[in-house]
């Protein structure tokens, strides 16, 4: 495998890891809690890496994407519950991402985001319908690297590095915040890293690119190097909020506030990079969430799916993608705040995470499918530990959502 291809895959994974959920939750928590919730990003990123690698291996060796496994292992009835929750979540995520792209365009042009929403929906559909899979994955993934500007901004801002380190290594609840709010945002950060559509897209993308066992080293590099570096970007976004907002007690609730520390420290060039990064991250995630909605339904019902087929040959798959985009666009046009939709989607995602990830763990342990690529001890220990954490998080998430009034 050429080093260039390897680097491209890793960079795509870095850029593709961050979406509107990571941007919003990292921005809010950085301003409000400092670095006290860094551990939640690390936990979510490690979980995503473990399960992403597993799902990728199942796709490469067993030739099965996630929802094939779901139906096969959970049966049609329980699988349908799983499909419904996953589909609704993908729709919610898609809505949040479309709203996010529109907000970025408002920041760049000053034109109200609601006017951009239908155009964004149309553009997402056109890209899904016409653009090759590699273009969606690579071009937007690479553009998403514009978010590296947040790391550069950290070196230009008056950062108290020792304070950041102490904050990250002493994750206490700030005295000004209730414990319930702290835990709500911990779950939201963790949920933003582990959103089910990402693993669905990662494994289905493996089938789209016809992964075989020869692709496993590349896939592992993407998961083991790319995802953690993506998590590092989330941490950089969180850290860059602190020098600007912590002394002012600012409650970050808009995308513009998240870009402001970069503009204030690096200037216009920094702002341009940040906006390009925001656009690429949200647009790629919108396309991925729409595709994931189509993948989930088509894989569950056994329809022909994927962009490797002509749209005419996978008509049902494309109809589901189109219907999802129309529904998500309509939802954002109701004028519901996209940032609120984002928060709710990552938190509800945390509830549904075990439903998507458990079948992956089961199939990755099946020697019949996986042969010599069956889960090793390390994968199983990590997978089981994370499954327990996922179940615990999913149990406490809804009570936290109501107790804190969605983090207010």
Partner 1 sequence: MRCSPGQLLRAHCSSWTRNGNGRWSAAHRRLAVIAAAAACTVTLAGCVTPAFNTSSYRQKTQESASEMAGLVGTARLAASAYLQGKLYSATADTIVSDAENDAGDIVTQWTSVQPPTAQAENIMSKAQTLLSDTSDQLTALRIAVRKGDRQQIGSLLTKLGPAIPKLKKLAAAG
Residue 302 backbone zone (phi > 0: left; psi -120 to 50: alpha; other: beta): left
Site stretch for partner 1 (CB under 8 A), options 52-60, 132-140, 206-214, 266-274: 266-274
Residue nearer to partner 1 on the CB measure, 89 or 344:
344
Nearest CA to 340 out of 176, 56, 99 is that of 99
Output the smallest distance, CB 257 to partner 1, in A: 6
Distance CA 216, CA 234 (A): 26
Give the residue with the Cβ less far from partner 1, 210 or 251.
251
- Nearest distance, CB of residue 47 and partner 1, angstroms: 26
Binding of partner 1 by 314 (CB under 8 A): no
The residue assigned the tokens 């979510």 is 44
**Helical axes 38-57 vs 377-403, angle rounded to 10°:** 130
Q: How far is the CB of 263 from partner 1 (least distance, A)?
A: 5
4 contacts partner 1 (rule: CB under 8 A): no
Q: How open is the CA angle 68-318-355, to the nearest 5 degrees?
A: 35
Of 84, 253, 316, 365, the one binding partner 1 (CB under 8 A) is: 253
- Contacts of partner 1 in 361-380 (CB under 8 A): none
Could you say whether residue 96 binds partner 1 (CB under 8 A)? no
**Gap between the Cα atoms of 139 and 5, Å rounded:** 14
Q: How far apart are CA 91 and CA 331, in angstroms?
A: 9
Q: What distance in Å separates the CA atoms of residue 408 and residue 405, rounded to the nearest whole number?
A: 6
Helices 255-266/66-109 angle, 10° precision = 60
Minimum distance of partner 1 from residue 295's CB (angstroms): 29
Residue number with CB closer to partner 1 (109 or 213): 109
> Residue 51 or residue 113: which is nearer to partner 1 going by CB?
113
Smaller CB distance to partner 1: residue 271 or 290?
Answer: 271
Give the nearer residue to partner 1 in terms of CB position, either 31 or 199. Answer: 31
Handedness of CA 44, 187, 20, 39 (dihedral sign): negative
Angle at which helices 338-364 and 377-403 pack, to 10 degrees?
A: 150
User: Least distance from C-beta 32 to partner 1, angstroms?
Assistant: 10
What's 230-249 look like in SS3? Answer: HHHHHHHHHHHHHHHHHHHC
Which residues, numbered 206-225, are part of the site for partner 1 (CB under 8 A)? none
- 29 makes contact with partner 1 (CB under 8 A): no
| Residue of 151, 254, 373, 389 that binds partner 1 (CB under 8 A) | 254
Burial class (CB in 10 A: 0-12, 13-18, 19+), 75: exposed
Given 107, 128, 223, 364, the residue binding partner 1 (CB under 8 A): 107
What is the C-alpha separation between 233 and 212, in angstroms, rounded?
30
Q: Decide whether 52 or 243 has the Cβ nearer to partner 1.
A: 243
- The C-alpha atoms of residue 33 and residue 192 are separated, in whole angstroms, by 17
Q: Does 77 bind partner 1 (CB under 8 A)?
A: no
Cα–Cα distance, 65 to 305 (Å, whole number) = 11
Query: Total binding residues for partner 1 by CB under 8 A?
Result: 29
Q: Which is nearer to partner 1, 30 or 306 (CB)?
A: 30
Q: Is 402 in the site for partner 1 (CB under 8 A)?
A: yes
Residues in the site for partner 1, rule: CB under 8 A?
A: 106-110, 244-245, 248-251, 253-254, 256-257, 259-260, 263-264, 267-268, 271, 275, 344, 401-402, 405-406, 408
């Amino acid at each position: 495998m050429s080093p260039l291809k390897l680097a491209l895959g890793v960079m795509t994974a870095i850029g593709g890891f961050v979406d509107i959920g990571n941007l919003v939750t990292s921005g809010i928590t950085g301003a409000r809690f400092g670095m006290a919730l860094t551990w939640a990003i690390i936990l979510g990123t490690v979980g995503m890496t473990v399960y992403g690698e597993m799902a990728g291996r199942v796709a490469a060796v067993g030739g099965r994407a996630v929802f094939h496994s779901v139906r096969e292992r959970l049966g049609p009835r329980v699988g349908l519950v799983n499909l419904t929750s996953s589909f609704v979540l993908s729709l919610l995520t898609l809505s949040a991402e479309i709203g996010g792209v529109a907000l970025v365009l408002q920041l760049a042009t000053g034109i109200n985001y609601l006017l951009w929403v239908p155009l964004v929906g149309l553009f997402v559909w056109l890209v899904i319908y016409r653009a090759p899979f590699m273009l969606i994955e690579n071009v937007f993934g690479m553009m998403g690297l514009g978010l590296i500007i947040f790391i550069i901004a950290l070196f230009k801002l008056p950062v108290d590095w020792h304070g950041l380190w102490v904050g990250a290594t002493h994750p206490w609840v700030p005295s000004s915040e209730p414990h319930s709010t702290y835990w709500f945002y911990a779950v939201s950060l963790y949920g933003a890293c582990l959103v089910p559509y990402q693993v669905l897209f990662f494994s289905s993308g493996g089938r789209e690119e016809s992964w075989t066992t020869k692709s496993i080293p590349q896939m592992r590099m993407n998961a083991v190097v790319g995802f953690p570096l993506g998590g590092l970007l989330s941490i950089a976004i969180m850290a860059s909020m602190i020098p600007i907002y912590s002394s002012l007690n600012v409650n970050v609730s808009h995308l513009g506030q998240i870009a402001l520390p970069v503009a204030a420290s690096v200037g216009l060039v920094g702002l341009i990079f940040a906006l390009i990064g925001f656009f690429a991250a949200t647009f790629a995630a919108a396309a991925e969430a729409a595709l994931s909605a189509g993948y989930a339904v088509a894989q569950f019902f056994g329809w022909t799916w994927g962009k490797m087929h002509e749209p005419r040959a996978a008509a049902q798959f494309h109809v589901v993608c189109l219907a999802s985009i129309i529904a998500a666009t309509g939802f954002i046009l109701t004028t519901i705040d996209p940032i609120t939709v984002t928060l709710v989607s990552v938190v509800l995602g945390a509830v549904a995470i075990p439903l998507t990830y458990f079948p992956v763990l089961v199939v990755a342990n099946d020697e019949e499918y996986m042969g010599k690529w069956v889960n090793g001890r390390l994968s199983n220990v990590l997978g089981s530990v994370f499954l327990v954490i996922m179940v615990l998080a999913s149990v406490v998430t809804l009570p936290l959502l109501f107790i804190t009034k969605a983090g207010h």
